[in-house]
Structure 1
Amino acid sequence: MFQKTHYVSVRGVIVENGKILVVKHAHSNRPPFWCFPGGRVEDDETLSQALQREMIEETGLKVKVENVVYTQEFVQERLLELFFLCKIESGKAKLGSDPDNPGPPILVDLLWASPEELLSMPVYPRNLVHMIAAGNLQQINHQVLYVKEELSNFAD
């Protein structure tokens, strides 16, 4: 029997006019922090669909999802996070909400920040912030196949 080993979360990295979009989280059990918008992938979604939904919910932006720029794994939580470079297709950035968390708002602010500003803020993941500030945002190719058999269609 197939058993799920990890949950998957997707986050969007948008660079526009030299600024990067981040959202501020305020949880009752830890200090506020900034991160890239996104969230968990639902069972019936592709990674791109999940990130497009999350970006609309949290920022009001319709985005084109491009390639992976960073990954991180939380072992204790069994969570794998994939960070995708995104391009804005339409909309104006505005603070949205996190419908998965009822009660007081979790998302409390939205900001376009320069790479230098990100370095002085509690933005996570720190390694990704340092990569952005160093101008070293390498894209990792992300390919979508619907069935494994599609692999046999590629020539060497």
Structure 2
Amino acid sequence: MRPARPRLAVRAAILHRDKLLVVNAYPGKKSDLWCLPGGGVEPAQSLPQNLQREVTEETGLTIAVGPPILINEFHDPGGRFHQVELHFRATLDGPDTITLADPEGVVNRFRWVTRDQLARLRHKPDGLTNAVWGDQFAHYDPLEAIIM
């Protein structure tokens, strides 16, 4: 089966009081895998505009988007899914009150985690910790198989 075109997505590394916001984006709490808030890119909007929209839709937060810190991609080796994600630094641009209001009902939990707490959570992408707390910009995390 030939893969479909890769889906482009954006994600926000929001550090607040030295804690990172992570979300669980599996409907029905079917997985314990955590990631950064964000989602698919829509046409006619810049990557930062898409990211601001996605974060607000999922969490109610408003953010200022900074530089890219990580490029990640994953796919389903036996299927047609392939996603390329661009992770950006972001800061809160308003109150830190989170309201889970994802219109698609995908994001169902959130946590603010320290670097040590993230290390103990099952999360993706693998290079997330170094990208968020390191000083590299636009690090590439190699293609990996999708997991749940």
Task: Give 2:60's aligned amino acid.
Answer: G
DSSP-derived class of the 1:83 partner: strand
Tell me, in whole angstroms, the C-alpha distance in 2 between the residues paired with 1:71 and 1:20. Answer: 18
Confirm whether residue 78 of structure 1 aligns to residue 76 of structure 2: no
1:55 aligned partner: 55
1:90 aligned partner: 94
Q: RMSD of the alignment, in Å?
A: 2.3
2:15 aligned partner: 15
TM-score between both structures, scaled by the size of structure 2: 0.77
TM-score between both structures, scaled by the size of structure 1: 0.74
Tell me, in whole angstroms, the C-alpha distance in 2 between the residues paired with 1:71 and 1:53. Answer: 20
How many residues are matched? Answer: 132
Q: Which runs of 5+ in 2 are unaligned?
A: 139-148
Q: Tell me the percent identity.
A: 29
Q: Which runs of 5+ in 1 are unaligned?
A: 141-156
Confirm whether residue 127 of structure 1 aligns to residue 131 of structure 2: no
- CA deviation profile, 1:50-91 (whole Å, cap 9, x unmatched): 000011111211111111000112244232100000011112
Which protein has the larger Cα radius of gyration, Structure 1 or Structure 2? 1
The answer to which structure, 1 or 2, has the higher relative contact order (CA under 8 A, 6+ apart) is 2
- CA deviation profile, 1:18-51 (whole Å, cap 9, x unmatched): 1111112233695232110000011221101100
